[in-house]
Structure 1
């Protein structure tokens, strides 16, 4: 009985930015838990290859920063294929530069990609979930939702906002049957972090700074995401679940 709480059979999950990295790994994990998967991105060819390597997944191509395109794509999918039961807002980007030299155009691009996208896709999907009085929204936050490091201040600002928009979603939508939460990864070996992974000095610092003593493995994000996507979290709302090897709780 208790294990059935984590079963996602019969549910459809849309994961943004899921042709690689965290999004792809979560798509794979939720598929193994029984969910029907829709992967999203802007590159149709890249998505097709990812869908094939997943052993079968639907694809939906749209730019998460384009509010109208997102709405039209989600509405069309729901009309033609049925409900999206689970949404994981994963699309994101990074750009590193000292704050006093940070290009204004990159600040706005990070804001659009990491935060505006969460608003766009959540609003489009939630308008259908609210009618059904049921749904799961999981936003991918970060340890930078509560911590900061030099040269990534705009990224830190967006991830702090992702944590808070998650709380706002829960405050407004929990009474209508939605559970809105966030997973906040620590330092994981992803394409976004390639420069840091390859920097021995940083990797050595990180290993000493993190109580677990290492980089995270992408598959270690799957369990938390299945929990928040499943009936096991039916009374969990507005929570930011840190999966970080203990880095946010230690000095």
Structure 2
């Protein structure tokens, strides 16, 4: 997979990059030569992924904390001299019926899923705009269009992120910065398992299945901006010999 991409000399930041889709993308980008900064709150998993590859560093930060995000990203930009990619993977995905939801629960989901994207994009944009280059990926979902029982905070957050991405793409496009959306579909991640304990995980796509589209969007092959790349609706790959 990574042999098709050469990210040598590039600096890529991944929020929620200690596990799941973020972790798989961090490993692939590092193997392709990028210096990858993983931003996450999970110290244990962050340390583990940083130990896997010399090109990966771990930075503990809560993406909902505006000042902390700007400080950490600013430090990375100063140390590295550039930022070429941002992948916004940090989310929470709790199951909460509307009638049982508390203000605190709703605020937490929106703070991480929506504000986290806002602050990360705000933090990397000045560096990318000065470079006249950069690729930002935000994850959106068809659940924002179709809904999902007991997931109103998550679905609302994904709708908000899509609206933000369309708008932000137009703000930074004149400076050569690309902002695209990726719809990964149903993926067996720790967050999905926590929210869907009865799902059939054996037939479900894995985080590594999203790496290809993410790497493409980070690469110079992806010349578009304000676009949505989707693998939603993709059928599980279960080869069966034809006996006809």
Q: Normalising by structure 1, what TM-score?
A: 0.86
Structure 2: state its 5+ residue gaps. Answer: 236-244
* Shift in alpha-carbon separation, 1:103–1:226, aligned structure 2, 3 A: same
Whole-Å Cα distance in 2 between the matches of residues 47 and 26 of structure 1?
Answer: 14
Alpha-carbon RMSD:
2.2
Cα offset, 1:82, TM superposition: 1.7
Check if 1:232 corresponds to 2:232: no
Question: SS of the counterpart of 1:231?
Answer: coil
TM-score, normalization: structure 2?
A: 0.88
> Separation in 2 of the partners of 1:39 and 1:233?
23
Label 1:112 to 1:133 Cα distance change in 2 as closer, same or farther (>3 A).
same
Q: CA deviation at 1:121?
A: 0.7
Residues 62-73 of structure 1 correspond to what in structure 2 (within 5 A)? Answer: 62-73=61-72
How far, CA to CA, are the matches of 1:97 and 1:45 in structure 2?
A: 27
The aligned length equals 234
Runs of 4+ in 1 over 6 A off after TM superposition: none
Query: Counterparts of 1:121 and 1:137 in 2: how far apart (Å)?
Result: 10
Other-structure match for 1:203 = 200
2:241 maps to: none
Structure with higher helix content: 1
Q: What is the aligned partner in structure 2 of residue 211 from structure 1? A: none
Deviation of the 1:145 alpha carbon: 3.4
- The 2-side partners of 1:45 and 1:166 are apart by 31
1:134-153 → structure 2 map (5 Å cutoff): 134-153=133-152
Task: Kindly indicate whether the alpha-carbon contact (under 8 Å) linking 1:216 and 1:245 is maintained by their aligned counterparts in 2.
Answer: no
Residue 223 of structure 1 and its aligned partner are, at CA, apart by 0.8
What is the match of residue 158 of structure 2?
159
Q: Which runs of 5+ in 1 are unaligned?
A: 208-213
Give the match's secondary structure for 2:221. helix
Matches of 1:197 and 1:45 in 2, distance apart?
24
Q: Deviations over 1:161-214 (max 9, x none)?
A: 111211111111111100100111111111112146641xx439xx9xxxxxx4
Q: In the superposition, relative to structure 1, how do residues 32 and 118 fare at CA in structure 2: closer, same or farther (>3 Å)?
A: same
Q: For residues 53 and 112 of structure 1, do their structure 2 counterparts lie closer, same or farther at Cα, with a shift above 3 Å needed?
A: same
Is residue 5–residue 231 contact of structure 1 (8 Å, CA) maintained in 2?
no
Q: Is the alpha carbon distance of 1:216 and 1:46 closer, same or farther for their aligned partners in structure 2, counting shifts above 3 Å?
A: closer
